[in-house]
C-alpha cells in the first residue's frame, strides 16, 4: 500500500493534496513511496492521467530519466518538497526544486484534487496486504459438501493487526465452478471471514487480495493450496473386531509401570493432526503421549515420562493439535501446559516450552484439564480447580481473558472438564455440574443442556466432548 507524506516533516499526510509532479510523458504521478517496493510509473491511474494536461501542473524536462533512475518528487500546498533518490537518500525542504530550474506548481483543478484525496488516504494504520495473513480451517483439509472458512487478518505497516474494517477483500478460487457460496464478510474489527462450500474432490488454489480494483495486492502467503477430500466415511480405528463386535487401538497396560509402546493405561485425551493421518493419545497413567498412524494403526512413538522436568509429565490430561503441528498437552499435577511440535518426516514429538505454573492469577493454573482451539487461533484451557476457562493466544501463549466462576448458575462451573468448538464458532464446555454449557467466542453464556442421570440426554461427570465436521 502507498503512504503519502508531508515532506517537510516526513509525517502523516499532505497539507493539501493539490500539488503533483508528472514526467514529460504525462503518464505518472510523482508521489513519495514508503518502501520503494514499486516504481513511480506503477502509480499511474487512468482516471487521473486525463487531467495531466491541465494548466497549472509542472512537467520536469528530464522527468522521464529521473523516474527511471528512481528519483521521485512530491509537494504539498505549502510548497514543501521531497526528493527520494535511487540510492535511498531523502532531501526535504521548502519551495520548488528541479534540475532545470522549474518548480512544483499547485494544481487547482477541483475534480482532480477530489480524486487525489479519495485515492491518497493511506497512512501508518492503513492495511498492507503483504503483511496481512490468513488462518483457519479453510487452509487445512476440506471435505466435500462441508462448508469451511478462513480468517483474513488485516495488518498495518508495522505488522500490527488492525481494529477497523472497510478494506476491499476479494477471494478467487482456481476452479470456482467446483465451489459454492463463496462469500467475504467484513467483521469491522480488522478481520474478514472468507467462507466457501467445496463440491468436488481435488487440489485447488485460493488467491486473496486486498485493495480497490486495479490497485489490489495479494495477501501474504498467496496462493493458498486447498485439498478437498470426499465426504467422511466413519469407521472403527483398531484391530479386527472380536466375536462380540468390539475393536481397539493399542492394548491394556499396567498402571505406574513404563509399558511398551502401543500399550495404554487410562487414555484421557485424543487429537488428530490437521491431515487426519496421525493420532495423538494421552496415555495418562503412563505419563506420556503416544503417536499412532490412523491408516496403518501402527504405533510410531511415545513422548514423556513421569517427573517434574521440562520433558516430563505428571498425569497428563487434555491434548489439542493445530495446523502448524503444535501439540499442546495439559500437565494436570504439574499445573502447567506443555507445548510440543510434531515432525511428520521423523514422526517425532519435540519439546518446545512449558506455559504456566500453579496459582489462580491469569496465566496460572490449578489442575488444568480439557483444551480447545477456537476458529481464530486461541487456546481454551479448562482451569478446573479455579473453576474457570482461560483463553490464551497461540503465538506467545499469553492470557487474553477468562470466563466463569464457581457455582451451578448460568456461566458458572464446578470444575470445567472438557472444551470444544462448534462449526459455528460457539464454545462448548462440560463440567462437574453434569451438563454442557454453550458460550459465544467472547465467553458470553448462551445456553446449556443436560442434567445428571443415566437416560439419553443425561450426563454423569462428562469428561470429554467433541464436535464432528
Tens digit of each residue's pLDDT, the chain (469 residues): 333 322 222 222 333 333 344 433 333 344 333 333 333 333 333 233 323 333 333 333 333 323 333 344 444 444 444 444 434 434 444 443 333 333 333 333 444 444 444 444 445 568 889 999 998 888 878 889 988 888 899 998 888 889 899 999 999 999 999 999 999 999 999 999 999 999 999 999 999 999 888 888 999 999 999 999 888 666 555 555 455 555 555 555 554 445 577 888 999 999 999 888 899 999 999 999 999 998 888 999 999 999 999 999 999 999 999 988 999 999 999 999 999 999 999 999 999 999 999 999 999 999 999 999 987 789 999 999 999 999 999 989 999 999 999 999 999 999 999 999 987 789 999 999 999 999 998 999 999 999 999 988 899 999 999 887 6
Give 302-309 contacts, CB < 8 A, sequence gap 24+. 302/261, 303/340, 303/348, 303/349, 304/338, 305/258, 308/334
How far apart, in Å, are the Cα atoms of 198 and each of 5, 180, 230, 405?
45, 7, 10, 41
In terms of domains, do 222 and 258 share one?
no
Q: Is residue 460 part of a domain?
A: no
Q: Are 298 and 200 within one domain?
A: no
Could you tell me if 335 and 366 are in contact, meaning their C-beta atoms sit under 8 angstroms apart? yes
Is 265 contained in some domain?
A: yes
- Number of independent structural domains in the chain: 3
Q: Are 34 and 157 in contact (CB under 8 A)?
A: yes
Q: Which of 105, 123, 141 is the last residue of a domain?
A: 123
20 and 56: one domain? Answer: yes
- Give the residue numbers spanning the domain of 33: 1-123
- How far apart CA 269 and CA 416 sit, in angstroms, is 15
Q: What is the CATH number of the domain that holds 322?
A: 2.120.10.30
Are 262 and 275 in contact by the 8 Å Cβ rule? The answer is no
If asked whether residues 163 and 278 sit together in one domain, one would say no
- Do 24 and 136 lie in a common domain? no
> In whole angstroms, what separates CA 171 from the centre of its chain?
16
Q: Kindly state whether residue 370 falls inside one of the protein's structural domains.
A: yes
What distance in Å separates the CA atoms of residue 248 and residue 239, rounded to the nearest whole number? 6
Amino acid at each position: 500500500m502507498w503512504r503519502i507524506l508531508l515532506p517537510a516533516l516526513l509525517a502523516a499526510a499532505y497539507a493539501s493534496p493539490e500539488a503533483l509532479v508528472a514526467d514529460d510523458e504525462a503518464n505518472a504521478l510523482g508521489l513519495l513511496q514508503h518502501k520503494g517496493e514499486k516504481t513511480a510509473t506503477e502509480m499511474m491511474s487512468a482516471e487521473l492521467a486525463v487531467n495531466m494536461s491541465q494548466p497549472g501542473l509542472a512537467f520536469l524536462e528530464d522527468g522521464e530519466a529521473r523516474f527511471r533512475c528512481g528519483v521521485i518528487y512530491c509537494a504539498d500546498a505549502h510548497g514543501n518538497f521531497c526528493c527520494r533518490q535511487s540510492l535511498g537518500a531523502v532531501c526535504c525542504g521548502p519551495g520548488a526544486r528541479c534540475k532545470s530550474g522549474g518548480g512544483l506548481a499547485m494544481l487547482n483543478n477541483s475534480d482532480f484534487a477530489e480524486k487525489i484525496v479519495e485515492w491518497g488516504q493511506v497512512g501508518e494504520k492503513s492495511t498492507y496486504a503483504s503483511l496481512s495473513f490468513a488462518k483457519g480451517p479453510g487452509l487445512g483439509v476440506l471435505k466435500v459438501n462441508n462448508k469451511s472458512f478462513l480468517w483474513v487478518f488485516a495488518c498495518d505497516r508495522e505488522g500490527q493487526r488492525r481494529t477497523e474494517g472497510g478494506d476491499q477483500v476479494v477471494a478467487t478460487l482456481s476452479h470456482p465452478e467446483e465451489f459454492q457460496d463463496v462469500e467475504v464478510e467484513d467483521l469491522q474489527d480488522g478481520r474478514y471471514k472468507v467462507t466457501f462450500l467445496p463440491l468436488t474432490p481435488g487440489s485447488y488454489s485460493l488467491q486473496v487480495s486486498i485493495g480497490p480494483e486495479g490497485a489490489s495486492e495479494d495477501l501474504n502467503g498467496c496462493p493458498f493450496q486447498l485439498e478437498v477430500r470426499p465426504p467422511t466415511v466413519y469407521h472403527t480405528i483398531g484391530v479386527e473386531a472380536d466375536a462380540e463386535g468390539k475393536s481397539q487401538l493399542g492394548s491394556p497396560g499396567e498402571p505406574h509401570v513404563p509399558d511398551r509402546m502401543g500399550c495404554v493405561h487410562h487414555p484421557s485425551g485424543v487429537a488428530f493432526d490437521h491431515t487426519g493421518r496421525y493420532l495423538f493419545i494421552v496415555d495418562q497413567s503412563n505419563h506420556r503421549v503416544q503417536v499412532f498412524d490412523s491408516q496403518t494403526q501402527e504405533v510410531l512413538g511415545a513422548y514423556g515420562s513421569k517427573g517434574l522436568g521440562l520433558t516430563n509429565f505428571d498425569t497428563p490430561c487434555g491434548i489439542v493439535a493445530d495446523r502448524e503441528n503444535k501439540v499442546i498437552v495439559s500437565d494436570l499435577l504439574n499445573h502447567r501446559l506443555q507445548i510440543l511440535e510434531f515432525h511428520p518426516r521423523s514422526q517425532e514429538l519435540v519439546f518446545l516450552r512449558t506455559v504456566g505454573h500453579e496459582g489462580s492469577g491469569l496465566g496460572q493454573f490449578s489442575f488444568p484439564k480439557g483444551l480447545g482451539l477456537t476458529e481464530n487461533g486461541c487456546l481454551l484451557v479448562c482451569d478446573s480447580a479455579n473453576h474457570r476457562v482461560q483463553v490464551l493466544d497461540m503465538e506467545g501463549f499469553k492470557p487474553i481473558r477468562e470466563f466463569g466462576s464457581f457455582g451451578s448458575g448460568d456461566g458458572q462451573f464446578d470444575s470445567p472438564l472438557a472444551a470444544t468448538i462448534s462449526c459455528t464458532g460457539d464454545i462448548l464446555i462440560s463440567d462437574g455440574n453434569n451438563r454442557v454449557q454453550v458460550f459465544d467466542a467472547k465467553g458470553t453464556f448462551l445456553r446449556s443442556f443436560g442434567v445428571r442421570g443415566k437416560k439419553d440426554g443425561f450426563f454423569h461427570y462428562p469428561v470429554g466432548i467433541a464436535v464432528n465436521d
